[in-house]
Structure 1
Amino acid sequence: MIRHVVLIRFQPEVSEAKIAALFAELKEIEDKLPACLGITAGKSESPEKMERGYMHGFIADFTDWDGLQAYQDHSDHQIAGAKLTEHAQGGKDGILCFDLEVAGA
């Protein structure tokens, strides 16, 4: 399984309601891609308080690397990604992505 982790520093004026709407739009992609095992999004509630401004994010799990690529290439992902970038501090500079193969999953 491939885990796609995305952390976002939203611009201060972006409301929690707007962020929830952006994440809801992203979650709609889940049913359009057979290799997508699920998307979970939200706000950090970490007791460590080490987010460094990346207070929101999501995790998307895929069956394999080809599934992740299909997600990245999908037109709905391109649209949702552009909206997330538009609302992130500094555009793409306000977004971190990390992809990881999860053994045994």
Structure 2
Amino acid sequence: MIRHIVLVKFKSDTSEQTIQNLFDRLAGLREQLPGMRDFDASLSLSPEGLEQGFKYGICVDFVDEAARDAYLALPDHKALGAELVGLAEGGINGLVVFDLKLG
């Protein structure tokens, strides 16, 4: 299984409603991909305070790398990814993406 992790620094004027709407639409991509297992996104709850401005995180679990690659190639994912970059502080520099192999 692959866990796709995205950390986001949203622009300060981005509303909670805008963020939640984007997260909901990203979660909805599950309908197009049977290999997309779980989707979670939220504000950081860490008491350590080490987020370095990356206050939101997204985790998406895929059954394998092929399912992750299919997700990345989806036109709807590309459009939502572009929207995410547009809402991030500094554009692409306001994101960190990291994929882990689980198990």
What does residue range 15-54 of structure 1 map to in structure 2 within 5 Å?
15-54=15-54
- Residue in structure 1 matched with residue 60 of structure 2 by the alignment: 60
Could you say what the CA RMSD is over the residues aligned between the two structures, in angstroms? 0.6
- Residue in structure 2 matched with residue 94 of structure 1 by the alignment: 94
Letter in 1 for 2:99: D
Q: Deviations over 1:20-44 (max 9, x none)?
A: 1111111110121011001111111
| Sequence identity (%) | 39
- Looking at structure 1, the residues matched to 30 and 88 of structure 2 have their Cα atoms a distance apart, in angstroms, of 22
Unmatched runs of 5 consecutive residues or more in structure 1: none
Unmatched runs of 5 consecutive residues or more in structure 2: none
Letter in 2 for 1:62: F
Letter in 2 for 1:19: I
Query: SS of the residue aligned with 1:14?
Result: coil
Q: What's the offset of the Cα at 1:45?
A: 1.1
- Residue in structure 2 matched with residue 72 of structure 1 by the alignment: 72
Instruction: Give the count of matched residue pairs.
Output: 103
Q: Which runs of 4+ in 1 moved over 6 A?
A: none
Structure-2-length-normalised TM-score: 0.97
Q: Deviations over 1:49-83 (max 9, x none)?
A: 11110001100000000010000000110011011
Q: What's the offset of the Cα at 1:17?
A: 1.1
